[in-house]
Amino acid sequence: MNGRLIGLLTVLVLVNFVVDSAITAPLVVLPEMLDHFGTDQAAWLNATAMLAGVMWAPLLGKSADLHGRRKVLVLTLLLSCAGALLCAVAPGLWLFVPGRMLQGASLAAIFLSVAIVRGAFPSRTAMIAVGVVTSGSAVLNIASRFLIEDLASKYGFQVLFLVSASVAVVMAGCVHRFVPESPARTPGRIDFGGALLLGAGLGGVLGYISLGSDFGWLAVGPLALLAVGVTASARWFLVSSRKPDPLIDIRDLRGPLALLLLVVFLASGSYQSMLQLIPLIGDVSADQRLGYGLADQGSVALLLAAPGLGVTLGGPTAGWLAGRVGPARTLAAAVVLGTAVTLGMFLGVSRLPAALCCAFLLGATVGALGTSGFNMAGSLAPPERQGIVSSLVMVMVSIGSVALNFVGAAVLASTSVAVDGETVNSATGVLAYIGIASGTFALAAVLAVLLARDTKVRN
């Protein structure tokens, strides 16, 4: 591998660091944001970017196939920069929420980076490079948490968004300067009407899932979002099935690709829900006699850092394996590992060594699953359609994450107990939470094995 390709990988790893600064890093300062805006609606501040990212992904993926991946990646980073600046200066939610929606465009940087790598590297090397690009920023993400927490305590939460905007605009310049433009092009045009319908459909349904737990599942606002989402999705399906050049051709969503997307949806939702559970059990002491808890057994900071280290190892390892046994088999192995690790958390909820092991392996699963999913999608798509097909993987990751996170939260809320006047999660709720994640992972494992067999037969 020559210096130019190493430089390309470095730039794309840093590009994916922008995604973390825009999507997940604001969780570090979530309490400060809630106090500043005088609200208890965390979903508006946190989930908006992820939901908007689901809407941005197909549009930017299709645009990349039509107009060039580098050009659209630069646009994506500039949109994220503009959103971060709006969030930094927003006097109220009326400007902060649109800012978060613009930041959501940064999700497209992940699959655009993957598409650029697959076009720049030979096939076997590209599989390893995908793992490096999708997982290499994990260590930077861990270190940045401590820095952002310190800066926010001194200068306010707005500093996070100023840092995010600065990193995004610098990386936009680096991408324009150092990343070659892809020669592959897909003839056609962008179906903006279909993009609006698809965005409204996904946003409405996911918005209902995200906000229903805060406002009430039968409240007028969430139900209106659900109605808009279902109506728009149905309309998009009917219209797209008739157009000659739709945003997403649903006629292609069959066979191995459809099975891959279902596996990604189930597995991503499962591991994200488990990552959400880890800090909850790490904040409870066994002395409270709730039947779980790790807070008094050692350094819980290691428990929170372990997944990041696992991601860094899991991504490149999965890329290396994919080059030897194929992405389908590697994907199946990653999902089977995730199933075993999730089952291990039945023991890990009360024993720190087991929890540390499971947290690390869960991170490895995250890295391996993301790398294998993108590699598998890339192997199923021609060069001129890498952008849109990779965007579908990102959409499934996002939808699965939102859906299973809120399912898990609803289970915990419905089984909570009162101890000394304080509402806490019960052992029943925690174990049921793990059971749902394990069952979903097991279903994904069965489908992943079927996908691997189907791919072997086709080859």
User: Does some domain include residue 36?
Assistant: yes
How many CB atoms lie under 10 A from the CB of residue 323?
A: 19
Is 185 domain-assigned?
A: no
**Residue 217, pLDDT score:** 77
pLDDT score recorded for residue 337: 95
Q: Is the pLDDT of residue 458 over 60?
A: no
Q: Is residue 350 part of a domain?
A: yes
Query: Are residues 429 and 312 both part of a single domain?
Result: yes
Contact status, residue 40 vs residue 164, Cβ threshold 8 Å = no
Most distant pair of Cα atoms in the chain: their distance: 66
Same domain, yes or no: 310 and 457: yes
Tokens 């194929």 identify what position?
A: 326
Average pLDDT over residues 366-379: 90
Of the candidates 201, 222, 248, which is a domain's last residue? 248
Q: What is the mean pLDDT of the chain?
A: 85
Amino acid occupying residue 368: A
Do the Cβ atoms of 182 and 113 come closer than 8 Å? Answer: no
- Residue 184 resides in a domain: no
- 205/171 same-domain check: no
Residues 269 and 319 in one domain: yes
Q: Is residue 7 part of a domain?
A: yes
Query: What CATH number did the domain enclosing 41 receive?
Result: 1.20.1250.20
Residue 121 forms part of a structural domain: yes
Burial (CB count <10 Å: 0-12, 13-18, 19+), residue 192: exposed
**Both 206 and 269 in a single domain?**
no
Q: Would you state the structure tokens that stand for residue 115, as one six-digit string?
A: 């598409």
Same domain for 77 and 11: yes
Whether the per-residue pLDDT at 459 is higher than 70: the answer is no
On whether the CB atoms of residues 68 and 185 are closer than 8 A, the answer is yes
Closest C-alpha among 447, 217, 240, 178 to residue 335: 447
CA distance 449 to 459: 15
Task: Tell me the mean pLDDT in the region 72-93.
Answer: 94
Whether 221 and 291 map to the same domain: the answer is no
Q: For residue range 232-249, list pLDDT tens digits in order.
A: 989 988 887 777 777 777
pLDDT band at 31 (very low <50, low <70, confident <90, very high): confident
Looking at the fold, whether 232 and 287 belong to one and the same domain comes out as no
Residue 1: pLDDT band (50, 70, 90) is low
Q: Which two tokens stand for residue 378?
A: 């890339």
Q: Which of 81-95, 96-110, 213-227 has the lowest mean pLDDT?
A: 213-227
Kindly indicate the confidence band of residue 41, based on its pLDDT and cuts at 50, 70 and 90: low
3-state helix, strand, coil in the chain (%, to 5): 85, 0, 15
Over the stretch 277-294, which tens digit does the pLDDT of each residue have?
887 888 788 888 888 888
Higher pLDDT among residues 269 and 215, named by residue: 269
Task: Name the residue among 224, 263, 12, 208 with its Cα closest to residue 121.
Answer: 12
- Count of positions (residues) in the chain: 459
| Predicted TM-score (pTM) of this structure | 0.84
CA dihedral 238, 68, 368, 330 (to 10 degrees): 80
113 touches 374 (CB < 8 A)? no
Residue at a domain's end among 179, 204, 236 = 179
pLDDT of 209 over the 90 cut:
no
**Quick one: 101 exposed, middle or buried, by C-beta within 10 A (0-12, 13-18, 19+)?**
buried
> Is the domain of 206 the same as that of 260?
no
Per-residue confidence band for 40, with pLDDT thresholds at 50, 70 and 90? low
**Do 380 and 435 reside in the same domain of the chain?**
yes
Looking at 248, 265, 294, the residue that finishes a domain is: 248
Residues 301, 446 within the same domain? yes
Number of Cβ atoms within 10 Å of the Cβ of 436: 18
Structure tokens at 67: 């107009």
**Can you give 238-266 as a three-state secondary structure string?**
HHHCCCCCCCCCHHHCCHHHHHHHHHHHH
More confident residue, 305 or 429: 429
Angstrom CA distances, 33 to 36, 40, 73, 97, 214, stand at 5, 10, 29, 12, 17
Does residue 203 share a domain with residue 95? no
- Please say whether the beta carbons of 176 and 71 come within 8 A: no
Assess if residue 210 is contained within a domain. yes
Q: Which domain holds residue 142?
A: 1-179
**Which one-letter amino acid corresponds to residue 23?**
I
What is the identity of the amino acid at 3?
Answer: G
Q: What integer pLDDT is reported at residue 62 of this predicted model?
A: 86
Helices (H) and strands (E) in the chain, counts: 17, 2
pLDDT score, position 243: 77
Question: Using N-to-C axis directions, what is the helix angle for 158-178 and 138-155, rounded to 10°?
Answer: 140
- Number of folded domains that form the chain: 3
Say yes or no to pLDDT of 336 above 90.
yes
Residue 172 CB-half CA count within 13 A:
18
- Which of the four pLDDT bands, split at 50, 70 and 90, describes residue 357? very high
Give CA torsion, residues 450, 329, 438, 392, to 10 deg: -80
- State the Cα–Cα distance between residues 20 and 304, nearest whole angstrom: 16
Residue 386 is assigned to a structural domain of this protein: yes
Question: What would the mean pLDDT of 323-333 be, rounded to a whole number?
Answer: 92
